[in-house]
Structure 1
Amino acid sequence: MSEYSGRHRPPTRAERRALERRSRLPKSFSAAYALPTAAAVTLALTAVGATAAQSSPFSGEVAEQASASLNATALLEDPQLAKDVRTEVATASRNSSGLSERRRAVADDVAESQVRAQERADRDKERTDLAAKKKPEDTQDAETTASGWVRPLASGPLTSGFGVRWGRLHAGVDYGASVGTPLRAMSEGTVVGAGPMSGYGIYIDVEYADGTVSRYGHLSSVAASVGQQVAAGETVAYSGNTGRSTGPHLHLEIRPGGGEPVDPTGWLTERGIL
């Protein structure tokens, strides 16, 4: 091989490798040592811009912009500023999370209110439906209610009349009725008395529009309270065998004007409900 090394001789392979090795970047500039964030690139570009602004004949606006960029870079490098920024970001994140929780809480409250309102509406509807279905029990036929009065019970024989019995006045009439038979108001009126009474056991008094008071005695229970308004045919009590009684029945007294009892037979006959 010729030892000529003139300028027109092409470089050998060994020379090329040596040249390549000399042209490589130092290890400190490799990818492993490069700045890992976009902040490093921004820092570099800002520095180049500042240098260009200082050497440019347009030193006015360009120089000011470069100076502002340089100041921004300096601020980003301030550890306290970075800490403050992180604190503000964390605070904003917490506030956003708190707002979401409050919104969810409000939505839950609205949903619960709607559920409660619907439940109240359902209960009101049930009560309305029950009231609409409620009718006087065991109402009489049209002939017996034409006068606006009804018998005190749907059926039952007259077993005892008004008069002296065993040395004392039997002040009413008796109807045979098993315990628990519904007893009705004979017309529209107001309950003026109810509860236990000596001799009568459990009783109830209903006063009607003409002032007459009917008394039902020996009851098993009452179904209306004092002061309650009742309609003709409405159940006000149930027959029984309480007080001075020899068997289950209804004892009925008629007291005009709320005074002393009279024989109910004529009064009931006049109204067609004997």
Structure 2
Amino acid sequence: MSDYVGRHRPPTRAERRALEPRRRLPKALTAGHALPTAAAATLVLTAGGATAAQSNALSQGSPAAAAPQATVSPALADPALDAKAQEQVATTVAGYSDLAQRRQQGNHEVALDQGRVQERERVARDKERKAKKAAAEKTKQAKAEAAPSSAPASGGGSASTTQAAAPSTSGWVMPLANPVYTSGYGMRWGRLHAGNDFAAAVGTPLRAMSNGTVVYAGQMSGYGTMVDIRYADGTVSRYGHMSSISVSVGQSVAAGQQVGLSGNTGRSTGPHLHLEIHPGGGGAVDPRSWLAAKGLGY
């Protein structure tokens, strides 16, 4: 045949096929070399279909229908390929199961670590709060211990010792030991200040001045916590601005017996004892002259 081709004659079919490159399927896509994944999928589907068909037949009681009628894919016709596909499926499932377990274990360990961190932070906060509280208590205690030795202030203040007051020759005693006088009897801010003030740190013991009976123990406007004691001669002593009372109304007391603790309650400018003297239970008099008559000068 001549190689000459006319200008206008189209190429024949054979010529076109000869000019086109040959296209072949990859060897892996041929029927004899099916992909393992496809084989595994086909195996699962066919096995499942056979099981379903057999179950349906048994439920209907038909012996002929009980025989499995599943069709086998050509790709699984080779027993060796079937076993290989099953092995790959099992390996893949085992890999995913192991991955899920390791991921779950990792999440569990992360949660445990976070819990440990939070617990350590909570313990640290508790220790810090306890340390601050202990420091505050220590500072408060140190101030309370140092208060009796500090200088007294006008109208109140800290200060006397807690030793028992020495009785006079007449058997009377001062309401507190080593009294520090700070304010006297007289007019103050347009009203009568009806007693004497003695500096006394909060908690200083207060004593009965002689044998007598408690006639009042409680709260009163201006005086705060207070105690009135009537003695054998009818005189009534009043202790004002106390922090606590250790006797009750009607109770008999002896000279020097503790009846309470000094404080800073009521209308007070600082911790001190406000002492009033009411002869015969009447109006208040200047305690200085009355105490001097009993041999209790200061």
Q: TM-score, normalised by structure 2?
A: 0.45
TM-score scaled by structure 1? Answer: 0.48
